Amino acid sequence: MRLVADFSRVAGVDEAGRGPLAGPVVAAAVILHPARRIRGLRDSKLLTPAERERLAPLIRERALAFGIAWADREEIDALNILQATLLAMRRALLALPVWPTHVKVDGDRCPCIADLGGECTLEAIVAGDAHVAAISAASILAKTCRDAMMRSLDGCYPGYALAVHKGYGTPQHLHALRERPPSPLHRRSFSPVRQELQPLTGSRLKP
């Protein structure tokens, strides 16, 4: 058993989209290149959309490796959002072209990778996206990827303004759910959506 973690290839892992009422939860894994510094890495939530869009291609270009993956709405409803998030993180690690020797995960839980063969240590870090550069980079890739997905899906499911709020439970989104049935993207296991799936009356659904 390895007692000391090998930090020669450290992957940071983070997610985007645990809280929304619609859409997938997206995870990213990033191994930064020690000789290719990227200035401005921070928790994606503290960056403006323009800053995230500027940094994302730099991360893709300069990182030693990165992987992005997701769990869809059906998996979220079947597994619950925590397990779906861990599944997305596991898939993001599997998408890395280089297997890490150590993984730092934002939060207090780590995905299960013991069955994947490669020797690797895991570390959960609460608020890691604010303190660990590789996790910050992963949070930016996950967020920009998910935002792009929701903008694209908005055209497939019009009427909910998904491109604006990205599936989060804004007043605009909740109003749209009162006006029309939930779309296939909406998470049935989340309370606001589940409530709208109750038998609709004429007063709740416009003709």
Structure confidence at residue 116 as a pLDDT band (50, 70, 90): confident
More confident site: 83 or 2 = 83
Q: Do 121 and 93 form a contact (C-beta atoms < 8 A)?
A: no
Which residues does residue 125 pair with via DSSP β-bridges, in sequence order?
106
pLDDT exceeds cutoff 60 at 82: yes
pLDDT tens-digit readout, 101-110? 999 999 999 9
Q: At residue 140, what are phi and psi to the nearest 5 degrees?
A: -70, -45
Confidence of residue 95 (pLDDT cuts 50, 70, 90): very high
Complete domains list, the chain, with CATH: 10-154 (3.30.420.10)
Considering the entire predicted model, what is its pTM?
Answer: 0.90
SS3 letters across 10-33: EEEEEEECCCCCECCEEEEEEECC
